[in-house]
Amino acid sequence: MTIKTARTSRFAAIETLSRLQRTRYPVKPLFENVAEECNLLGSERGLARNLVWGVLRRREYLDLLLNKLCNRPIDKLDTFVYSALSVGLYQLFCLDRIPESAAVNETVNALKVAGLKKHLHGFVNGVLRASIRQQDDLPRPDTPDATGQPLLNHPAWLTQRWENRFGRQEMARICAVNNCEPQLVLRVNSSRISRQQLIADLKKLGIAAFPGTFAPDSLVLPDYQGAITSLPGYAHGYFQVQDEAAQLASLLLGPFTPNSSYLDACAGLGGKTSHIMQLTAEYASNIVAVEPEPQRQRLLQENIDRLFPEGKLTICKTSLQDYCRISRLQFAGVLVDAPCSGTGVTGRHPDIRWNRNEEELPRYQFNQLDILHHASELVAPLGILVYATCSLEIEENQEVIEKFLTTHTNFSSTDCSSYLPEDAASCIDGKFFCPHPTESIDGFFAARLQRNS
């Protein structure tokens, strides 16, 4: 067997987790690179992804097991060995469809493929087999800790912050939601197909789908595990993957008016850009998206070509700061989906909880205020400026708005509830749109600001 064919889903999961531990890069591109290197397809790729995301959602529990089973401190373990033990234990204690022999043998084989020394193969094999023998005496994933509280599987600095702000019960609820696999949510491209018709098309293929809870074009697929590109209507641009919170944020730019200009100041892959195009499809609007990073520019263009092949979008391949210096346009609406810590979406991106630290929050705020300042210069009189993050942290949300309004007295905050569906009323706190994570929606923050005449 060659090394390439030996690189199974377990090897890919372990290698991804090892690279994550060494680099703190986002897990998704790390996984995509490893899966491509290992030539993983179909179910093998799906299993590898489930193992990586599952280990990250259960890290505290798996570390608890390792501390009971290992005769050496786990922070002294080789990164590949630590990741291998985590993947092996996750299969043995958190999954119920993988035979014990496969979990152990495939994990040990991954060490052989990686070229680790033989004594490490025996060490990993011994720990995993000991866990099987001792499983009746070891805690299960839902076993409370020594104080009777559930394991949170989040870093202490983050849970302490949430407990201080939201209370112990709400903090524990947020952690529990983050530790579950999130549901798949689509935004139906209502300019091309109705939500009812897409539901019917999915039902014909045996794919369950139902309307979302909050956003008018949202569609939830609770059981779908396949590739997004395999869903009916993908190639025709009938939908975009997008959580309900992100869908609602774009609505805050309204009311939309004919022949007006709108700017997505931090376009990324174009989820909100395409939604703005959808919301203004009947208004002959001028839409501009700013995105400086070449890879994101390419994916943004691909998304727009799929969703709106005849639509008109200007992509400015530069930073927002540079765009401000060269632009003569003023916009009726500017959306700032600011780079942030992402603590509101750690359910979808479980690496975030382990990759962030509290000391980074002031740096995020500094950059967010700079972006918001430059975006404000592009807003026309009486125009709308929407500031959004997928963070739960006050430094990135309410404090940013307070500091911005202190230095930009030509803007005032408006009530978000007037521009969102009644079903989203539970997501409003004061004037802000700021849902906590639930089974139905990501954690999010948005403020709607208006420029004075």
Positions marked active-site: 390
SS3 74: helix
Cα-based distances in Å from 176 to 72, 181, 284, 441:
30, 10, 45, 14
Q: What is the DSSP string of 25-68?
A: --HHHHHHHHHHHTT--HHHHHHHHHHHHHHHHTHHHHHHHHHH
Q: Where are the alpha helices (DSSP H) in 148-293?
A: 156-166, 168-178, 195-204, 244-251, 271-279
Contacts of 74 (CB under 8 A, 6+ apart): 63, 66, 67, 82
Cα-based distances in Å from 292 to 297, 318, 388, 420:
7, 4, 19, 30
42: left (phi over 0), alpha (psi -120 to 50) or beta: left
3-state secondary structure 163-189: HHHHCHHHHHHHHHHHCCCCCEEEEEC
C-alpha radius of gyration, the chain, whole number: 24
Distance of alpha carbon 102 from alpha carbon 54, whole angstroms: 18
